[in-house]
Copies of this chain bind each other. A is one copy, B any other.
Amino acid sequence: MQEITLRTERRTQLLDITSQVAESLNGVDGAAAALVYVPHTTAGVTINEDVDPALARDMEAAMEKVVEDGWDWVHDDADGPNAPSHMRASLMSPEVLVPLSEGQLALGRYQGIFFCEFDGPRERKVYVTALR
């Protein structure tokens, strides 16, 4: 299991981590897929187009519309009343599994892997595990 460390800058932020994931797979031999796993509860990971930066911003705004801050929420802890952040993380998913072809991520032509921050800014970790 490899570990990636990253720092987010905004409350809700999609961050392209494709190259860090690819690097962490250097030297992996004979694996069939790479698991990209987020060990946090207010962040997730997804795969989407990494060409137009405006798209990530659109998706950040959309996640705050799919799950609204203004709904009645009860949860409150040391991090504040951040239940919407937890809900967004679960909807986006804590992990993605990407097939490998000859040790390389078999991403589609326009696909990138995005860390999804929903309660930033923070320092975060991502685990990358090769599966046979």
- Least Cβ–Cβ distance between A32 and chain B, in angstroms: 5
Closest beta carbon of chain B to A59's beta carbon, Å: 5
Flag A14-53 by CB within 8 Å of B: 1 or 0 each: 0000000000000000001101011111000011110110
Q: Is the CB of A106 within 8 A of B1?
A: yes
Interface digits, A42-79 against B, CB 8 Å rule (1 contact, 0 not)?
00001111011011011101100111100111111100
Cβ A91 vs Cβ B75 within 8 A: no
Instruction: Please determine whether A37 and B98 come into contact, CB atoms closer than 8 angstroms.
Output: yes
Question: Count the A residues whose beta carbon is within 8 Å of the partner chain — how many?
Answer: 61
Flag if B48 contacts A41 (CB, 8 Å).
yes
Q: How far is the CB of A58 from chain B (nearest CB, A)?
A: 4
**Are A86 and B55 within 8 A (Cβ)?**
yes
Question: Shortest CB–CB separation between residue A72 and chain B, in angstroms?
Answer: 7
Q: Which residue of B41, B49, B132 contacts A131 across the interface (Cβ within 8 Å)?
A: B132
Query: Given that A40-B108, A86-B55, A110-B41 are known contacts, is A71 also in contact with B65, CB under 8 Å in the complex?
Result: yes
List residues of A whose CB falls within 8 A of some B CB.
1, 32-33, 35, 37-41, 46-49, 51-52, 54-55, 57-59, 61-62, 65-68, 71-77, 83-84, 86-87, 89-99, 101, 106-111, 125, 127, 129-132
